[in-house]
Amino acid sequence: MNNLRNCLRNLLFTNHTTKLLGGNGRSSNRIETVVIDYSSPNIAKPFHLGHFRAAVTGNFVKNINEAFGHKVIGINYIGDWGTQFDILASGFSKYGDEDELQRNPVEHLYKIYVQANRDIQLLNDRKPLDRIGNENEPVSSAESIVNHITEIQSRD
């Protein structure tokens, strides 16, 4: 019974939305190009249900715009790596272990990232990245972790 109720509710919502937006599924306005970013996940954390919800919502918005005749470009941008890698680089200088990186790189780097984020929350500061690492070895960018991993790989 709940499935029927939800189906009817969705149908009524769709019909009501279509009437509000122009009635026949076609906009009287000019055709535009619309770019929709589905979820923009944080690439340093696992994909979860919230990302799926954002992707479904993005697809809904895409479908509505297409129904009104607009050209729609749907993307899932995952290119914002800067802050995440700064956090990871800073955290690696404090919590990283070369042997563990060799054995289980993805899980080890994830654990470092989570711990470094906890450090940032404890510091209650927006720019703590240079303070997370060892005091003798401040880290300010992802360059150090990339160099570190490259060195490890070149030894093999």
Catalytic-residue membership of 16: no
The gap from C-alpha 133 to its chain's centroid, in whole angstroms, comes to 25
Residues ≥6 apart with Cβ < 8 Å to 54: 38, 39, 40
Of 60, 75, 90, which closes a domain? 75
Catalytic-residue membership of 45: yes
As beta bridge partners, residue 75 has 37
Q: For residue range 108-132, what is the model confidence (pLDDT) as tens digits?
A: 999 999 999 898 888 765 454 554 4
CA–CA separation, 51 and 41 (whole Å): 6
Query: Does residue 136 share a domain with residue 88?
Result: yes
Q: For residue range 70-122, what is the model confidence (pLDDT) as tens digits?
A: 898 888 776 666 777 888 888 898 999 989 988 998 899 999 999 998 988 88
- Which residue in 19, 51, 108, 148 is the catalytic one? 51
Question: What's the domain range around 118?
Answer: 82-155
φ and ψ at 74, to 5 degrees? Answer: -100, 130
Report which of residues 134 and 103 the model is more confident about. Answer: 103
Overall number of domains in the chain: 2
Q: What is the mean pLDDT of the chain?
A: 72
Q: In this model, does residue 49 exceed pLDDT 50? A: yes
Catalytic-residue membership of 19: no
- Which residue in 16, 19, 45, 71 is the catalytic one? 45
The helix/strand/coil state of 148 is helix
Query: Does residue 115 share a domain with residue 54?
Result: no
